[in-house]
Structure 1
Amino acid sequence: MAAMAKAILLALLKVLMIVIFAGWIALWILKPTTLWTRKWKGAEDSARHTVFGYNGLNFAVFTFPLIALTIIGVVYLNLVTKEPPRSRPARSAPVGFSNPVVVNSFVGILSSMEILAVFLFLLFLAWTYYARISNDFKKLMPIKSLKLDLWQIKYLRVATRFGLLAEVCLALLLLPILRVLPIFQLIGIQFEASVRYHILLGTTMIFFATIHGASTLFIWGVSHHVQDEMWRWQKKGRIYLAGEIALVTGLVIWITSLPQIRRRRFEIFYYTHHLYIVFLIFFLFHAGDRHFYMVFSGVFLFGLDKLLRILQSRPKSCILSARIYLFPSKAIELTLPKDPRLKYTPTSVIYMKIPSISRFQWHPFSITSSSNSDNHTMSIVVKCNEGWTSSLYDVIQAELDSDAGSMNCIPVSIEGPYGPASLDFLRHDSLLLIAGGAGITPFLSIIKEIASLSSRRYRFATRVQLIYVVKKSQDVCLLNSVSSQLLNQSSTQFSLNLKVYVTQEESSNATVVGLVNDFSLVRTVNFSTKCSNYAVHGLDSSVLMAAMVALSSIKFLVSLIFFNRIFVPTEMKSSASQKVAVPSENKASKEKTPSSVVDLLLLASFIIALACNTFVAIILRWKRLRKDIPAASPKQGNKAIELAGSVEASTVEDHEIHFGGRPNFQADILSKFSDETGGSDIGVLSELCLVIEDSNK
């Protein structure tokens, strides 16, 4: 009975989210039309006579739908069961749309659903631009302060409407990088995959904004008004200087985000990316509060998400132990303390900062352990190449080489874990896992999860084939944590077959068992936990986070209404935020309340909402840490160096190793595996990652 009620509730929430999202999309489609403009002016006039004013109407119509969608989505994801299925769930029709269609080094992997979404977004941009510019050309009006020719007026309108396209991109820009409030997870897209949408939207926004700004400067130049217009900070209308500052700031952020700078000079990327605060403030001054409400939902949710992440990553935890793989592999397995009640799904990711190495760098790592088998700890594997990871290797190596009587304590800050809401991969009879280099780490947790489920009454894949592509044979050391599943399959109830492809070495007589034995020599060290006694406790309750989002939106609206009632005179409420000229008889009242003051009131209301939310979150976090979060349980504080010997040999003969080339996925892998499984239901997961990249928190 309870299961049926839960299913009905999930269905209702899903329908409600679809209705809200469809309404939000319809709003954007109708907004460029003259019909919407005419009706909306009437709605604003009516709203001015209410306690909410036009500000409340704009917030409710343009901003709140996405906030409401997020609140419902967080509750929905919390209700979606993370328990492995006891029977196979029915396959949904959209599954085929998520299969890869385009695989390219430039755009990555694109599914048919993603291609369709990109096409519809471009179509929407074209519609918005056409609807606006065609209406502008029908009623061209000369600008009194500028004496322009007809072609100059038309070109200026063209430039202005490119600014609207940049505004559309800005409305979506911050949504893909939400972690605690993951909107994209509602459609099955995890944070690691959604970051590329943030990059594409940011690049597109800067492209349109640059055309908008450069074209406007060009018209000012040919009409000899550059000096007059460029440095103007108008009391009314669009503030040109603010737009110029926002454009320059956006260009600086975009340039320092290029891979060539981000990977080599992470601190520059990190510092300049925080200029987004400057960019958003001056965009508000340039566009005005009405336009800002169109993009405010993303800003609002990102501010809350950032706040919750900062609070969640405190207090600091520590590293319990480290297993360092001997030369030449340079890989480390770190063990962290975990709250036994913290459960996470396979392929989950944590973000880790080690202040002793860098005070600012946060790096993402896939969890390689299973919360079903490891109640008090979680593990990650770090492939140490260069930069931050190389510094980590040196720190651990220095501790191993130290002659001190006890190990030091290494404090760390942990954010997460973030992972999928459900175990969809378990619905398949067979799994084909394809990994390259450090991309093997998410699959280690899948293998351990299946192994832990094999002794329980759960549905799991009984046949797993792992395709591992590496540059050097030494990289197979990353398989050390699943060596027992690979080499002692008599103790498991599922079949695990491994095929290794070594691309940069010639043919050899080595076997998989031999390589795992040869490159599985490790030295283990247990660290002190004196610097921090807190275990990783994970995110707060989803219901609590949804309540905090709702509380913040209410506090913002109340503050906004309060400020406007006090600081904006009644006679000005009809024109204070309009970005058009007002009659000369209203000049005195116009100068009384500049439009930038209304913008500042919006900004102040947002800051107050965040401050109140911060206070509540800190109190709740303090109570939870004081009562609920267990202390980290160290193994031993003193130095305990262990030299692990070779893993036990096995009679497994199905594992294969190939040298000197990459696999032919269609002929050698997909077709063959399909034949071997007899056409049963097969799930294919790929994680081809040869380089660990930095990530900005």
Structure 2
Amino acid sequence: MAVEDLHSALISNGEDHVKHSEQKSFLVSLAKWVLKSAMWLIFVVWIALFSVVATGFGVTYYSDWVGATDGTLFGETGSLMLLFCPPLMAIAFLAVPYIIFRGQDEEQLQQKETKKAKYSLWTFPVLVEGPLGVVSAAEMIGIVLFIVFVLSAIYFDTSADFVILGANRESLTEEEEKCYLEILGLRFGLIGLFCLSFLFLPVSRGSVLLRLINIPFEHATRYHVWLGHLTMLLFTIHGLLFIVVWTVEGVLLDELLEWATIGFANLPGVIGLIAGLLMWITALPPVRRLNFEVFLYTHQFYVIFIVFLALHVGANVFAIAAGSIFIFILDRFLRFCQSRRVVDIISAKCHPCGTVELVLAKPENLRYNALSFVFLQVREVSWLQWHPFSVSSSPLDGKYHISVLIKAVGNWTEKLREYIMKSSEDVQCSGHNKITASVEGPYGHEIPYHMMYENLILVAGGIGISPFLAVLSDILHFVRQGKRCLPRNILVVWAVKRSDELPLLSAIVMESTCPSFSNKLNLETHIYITREYEPPLEEGKVQSSINSSLCPMSRRCGMSVLVGTGHNTWSGLYVMSSTAGFVILMYLVDIFYVNPFDIEAWWHLGILFLACMVASVFIFGGFVVGLWHLWDRRISAKEQCEDNAGRTETVAHKDSDEESLANFTSIHYGARPDFNDIFGTVSKNLGHVDVGVIVCGPSTLQSSVAKEIRSHNVTRQCSDPIFHFNSHTFNV
């Protein structure tokens, strides 16, 4: 009887546990749905504000709004700030718990292979060539909607003026015509501010908003580029219209140098526009590719652009775009704090093909996904330059290190390779040497989307194999651990110029990572060597690489966890405290400075407004960052105590078993990948399933793959697979 009671109790406990899990899952799903609905509602209302503000209804609504709120402490500035800033910040606040809840059911997101194959707007390429590059259906819809938004704003802002101008063209005086041109210039400036309200969001690398929509920074930079062109075009038209009027009046120089107290100050506007034009011109592809350093340095003029914009328009108008600028300042300050940490480069390896492999120290609690990247500054090479590199190691490869592969193709990378080779000689002579780096990141997808597909095609060009080494290692670790719903069919297509790059694939010790992986994973690799038509005579002889241990392993010299994509709770507290601090500082400035001294100059109020934004991040946000840093030190000290008994993790560079590689690798000399044939073969073998295609390589490679995916998806039969295009290429 006792055995039966025990058996019944165990069954009862099991049922209770299942019910509790189901209830918890339901509550999490409900909370996510409520948060998502609230964020969508706020976003639609925010966009509607921009859309109707210039219409007759919008003008009436704005007048009523100012009349109702003008009596508050902040006056009309507060009215505009309440109208345009809170919606964006409210979305940021709600995004924090949403991301936390989404992380709790991340395993449920990896159930895709149990679902029916279907198209996705985000992974269906619509445009595959042209100045915009590869554009997905979702991106195309966004582009069209934004163009409609801008055109409608231009129409509503200018149509009434043009109707009046056309109806009274013969009776208008020259002064009235010039007045209409000035009004038109103001309209274009206002629409430019609307675009500016979105411009800084894509370049906030660890922004909670990018994490919310699961768009990594390397993808979002394209949106920043598109918005930058449009914004500067509108601001340039805005400036040119006024220049035309002032030239006709013969007061061009006087107007350009005017710094008005009440109204718009012209000289700050001229300085800001010049800074913007310099950034715009040097960011154009021909200039950027010719001299990346010029683009990099002139783009720091964004500080001048923002400061003089605030001086030009004053606090009232600056409040329209303040939300996105504030989020960018939040991200920039956190990046500054993280990059202050000096990180040890534990070891370096120079491959014969000109690629450098660096192993960086990191703390155990620094989270990232396999498809991530970091920004590096090596002070021994340059104190100013930062460069992005894909992470080539899986988070499961080691607790205390992270690896990157760097191809020596430019001045900075060539200097890095030469310095490492020289350092290796110094190590042999003196027995010790040290290279340090500053790191920002890791950044990447909030969700490891490579784990969403049972069938994967990884297409790489040259050093583009780097992130796929991390992906393969990640999958092997998960397969070894017996995790469910992971990729099982993987095809790697790698195009390289020379055979001396092949050893890069040997960075993964497959058998050691996952013994007998071929029984659990269907892995196939096709390598295309485009500039060699037969195996080299010295094939089989492995060229030696220069391998150096540059400094001892030390978690005290590891990367900082102060990154926007890091700890969700601390990131949320940082955003909330900074926002609250901004309101408090604005209140104090108004009470103790603006009102007692009757500050009315627009430019003065504008710079005070911007100063409060920056100070709130430094003071209130900095306080949270300081606590976050102390928490990190405490956690690291605890890990060190637990690990002190015997830490056996090694970070030596690994050489794979070449025989195991040869079993699933085919090498094609003097040929390029025929993606029509590759995708056709996959279609015949897999049937009606989802196939994730991830591409990392030059724009021509991305366009070729996207073109074939679009063709196969459009002409596919019901029994054929659906290919999903994903790009992992960082284009600046």
The aligned residue for residue 689 of structure 2 is 680
**How far has the Cα of 1:267 moved from its partner?**
4.4
Matches within 5 A, 1:460-609: 460-482=486-508, 484=510, 490-492=516-518, 493-506=520-533, 508=534, 518=541, 521-529=544-552, 533-538=556-561, 539=563, 540-569=566-595, 593-609=600-616
Structure 2 residue 382 is matched with structure 1 residue 358: yes
Q: CA deviation at 1:7?
A: 2.0
> What secondary structure sits across from 1:161 in the alignment?
helix
Give 1:505's aligned amino acid: E
> Quick check: 1:395 aligned with 2:402?
no
User: Contact (CA 8 Å) 1:439, 1:687: kept in 2 or not?
Assistant: yes
Cross-structure match for 1:169: 195
Task: Tell me: CA distance 1:253–1:133, structure 2 relative to 1, closer, same or farther (3 Å).
Answer: same
Compute the displacement of 1:488 (Å): 9.5
Deviations 1:347-392 (A, max 9, x none): 0111111111111211111111111232222111111222111111
Question: Do the aligned partners of 1:523 and 1:644 also contact (CA within 8 Å) in 2?
Answer: no
**Secondary structure of 2:557's aligned partner:** coil
Cα drift, residue 265 of structure 1 = 4.4
Cα-to-partner distance string for 1:321-353 (whole Å, 9 max, x where unaligned) = 12222x3x0112211222223332110111111
Aligned partners of 1:535 and 1:629 also within 8 Å: no
**How far apart are 1:195 and its partner, in Å?**
0.7
Q: How far 1:450 moved relative to its partner?
A: 0.8
Question: How far, CA to CA, are the matches of 2:661 and 2:729 in structure 1?
Answer: 38
Q: How does 1:126-525 map to 2 (within 5 A)?
A: 126-137=151-162, 148-263=174-289, 265-325=291-351, 327=352, 329-402=353-426, 403-455=428-480, 456-482=482-508, 484=510, 490-492=516-518, 493-506=520-533, 508=534, 518=541, 521-525=544-548
Unpaired stretches in structure 1, ≥5 consecutive residues? 573-591, 635-639
Preserved CA contact (<8 Å) 2:265 2:313: yes
Tell me, yes or no, if the aligned pair for 1:465 and 1:497 is still in contact at 8 Å: yes
Distance 1:226 1:92 in 2: 63
- Structure 1 contact 316–411 (Cα < 8 Å) conserved: yes
Secondary structure of the structure 2 residue equivalent to 1:232: coil
Q: Are residues 1:44 and 2:44 paired?
A: no
Closer, same or farther: CA 616–149 of 1 in aligned 2, 3 Å: same
SS at 1:177's partner residue?
Answer: coil
How far, CA to CA, are the matches of 2:244 and 2:432 in structure 1? 65
One-letter amino acid of the counterpart of residue 371, structure 1: P
Distance 1:344 1:571, change over 3 A: closer
Confirm or deny: 8 A CA contact 1:534 1:629 kept in the other structure.
no
CA distance in 1, matches of 2:129, 2:432: 47
How many Å apart are 1:192 and its aligned residue?
0.5
SS in 2 for 1:368: coil
SS class of match (2:697): strand
Once residues 168 and 93 of structure 1 are traced to their aligned partners in structure 2, the CA distance between those partners, rounded to angstroms, is 36
Are 1:660 and 2:670 an aligned pair?
yes
Deviation at 1:24, TM superposition (A): 0.9
One-letter code of the match for 2:689?
A: S
Which deviations, in whole Å up to 9, do the C-alpha atoms of 1:397-436 show, x marking residues without a partner? 1122234242211111121111212133323221111111
**CA distance in 1 between partners of 2:102 and 2:560 (Å):** 21
Secondary structure (helix, strand or coil) at the match of 2:487 reads coil
Q: Secondary structure at the match of 1:350?
A: strand
1:521–1:645: 8 Å Cα contact kept in structure 2? no
**2:78 matched residue in structure 1:** 56
Residues 257-309 of structure 1, C-alpha deviations (whole Å, 9 max, x = no match): 33454455444433332221221122122223222111101110111110011
Q: Distance in 2 between matches of 1:123 and 1:541?
A: 38
Cα distance change, pair 255–97 in 1 and its aligned pair in 2 (3 A): closer
Over 3 Å counting, the alpha-carbon distance change for 1:122 and 1:12 in structure 2 is: same
Question: Which of 124, 136, 161 is equivalent to 1:111?
Answer: 136
TM-score, length-scaled by structure 1: 0.87
Q: What is aligned with 1:581?
A: none
Q: Deviations over 1:57-85 (max 9, x none)?
A: 32222012112212222332233238555
Instruction: Mark the CA change 1:530 to 1:643 in structure 2 (over 3 Å): closer, same or farther.
Output: closer
CA distance in 2, matches of 1:272, 1:486: 48
**Which structure has more helix as a fraction of its residues?**
2
For 2:335 and 2:359, the matched residues in 1 are separated by 22
Q: Residue 584 of structure 1 aligns with which residue? A: none
The answer to whether the 8 A contact 1:428-1:681 is kept is: yes
For the residue of structure 2 that corresponds to 1:332, the secondary structure is: strand
- Amino acid in the other structure paired with 2:546: R
Question: RMSD of the TM alignment (CA)?
Answer: 3.4
Check the 8 A contact 2:55/2:157 in 1, yes or no.
yes
Q: 1:394 to 1:695 in 2, by over 3 A?
A: farther
CA deviations on 1:95-117 (whole Å, 9 max, x unpaired) are 24432122226322110111111
Shift in Å, 1:498: 0.6
Q: Which of 80, 88, 101 is the aligned partner of 2:126?
A: 101
Q: CA deviation at 1:520?
A: 6.8
Letter in 1 for 2:68: S
% identical equivalent positions = 27
Distance of aligned partners of 1:97 and 1:253 in 2 relative to their CA distance in 1, 3 Å threshold: closer
Equivalent position SS for 1:37: helix
The letter of the residue matching 2:674 is N
User: In 1, distance between residues paired with 2:621 and 2:434?
Assistant: 30
- Partner SS, residue 120 of structure 2: helix
Alpha carbons of 1:128 and 1:485: their partners in 2 closer, same or farther (altered >3 Å)? farther
Q: Is the 8 A contact 1:100 1:112 kept in 2?
A: yes
Give the superposition deviation at 1:187.
2.8
Match of 1:404, SS state, is: helix
Distance 1:124 1:502, change over 3 A: same
Aligned to 1:588: none
Distance 2:380 2:304 in 1: 30
Q: In the TM superposition, what is the alpha-carbon distance from 1:447 to its structure 2 partner?
A: 0.6
What is the TM-score when the length of structure 2 is the normalising length?
Answer: 0.83
1:409 partner amino acid: K
1:147 deviation in Å?
7.8
Q: Deviations along 1:189-239, whole A, 9 cap, x unmatched?
A: 211011121122112222221122122111211222323422221121122
Asked whether the 8 Å contact 1:165–1:208 carries over to 2, the reply is yes
- Partner deviation per Cα, 1:229-257 (whole Å, 9 max, x = no partner): 22221121122222211111111222233
User: What are the within-5 Å matches in structure 2 for residues 63-82 of structure 1?
Assistant: 63-81=85-103
Q: CA separation of 1:549/1:139 partners in 2, compared to 1, >3 Å: closer, same or farther?
A: farther
Aligned pair in 2 of structure 1 residues 289, 681: CA closer, same or farther (>3 Å)? same
Which stretch has the larger CA shift, 470-479 or 624-633? 624-633
Point out the more displaced range, 341-350 or 400-409.
400-409
The whole-number CA distance in structure 1 between the counterparts of 2:381 and 2:730 is 14
The match for 1:637 is none
Q: Distance in 2 between matches of 1:199 and 1:107?
A: 10
- Name the structure 2 match of 1:670: 679
Q: Per the alignment, in what secondary structure is the counterpart of residue 432 of structure 1?
A: strand
What is the CA–CA distance in structure 1 between the aligned matches of 2:117 and 2:43, rounded to whole Å?
21
Instruction: Kindly tell me the number of residue pairs found equivalent between the two proteins.
Output: 662
Partner of 1:586: none
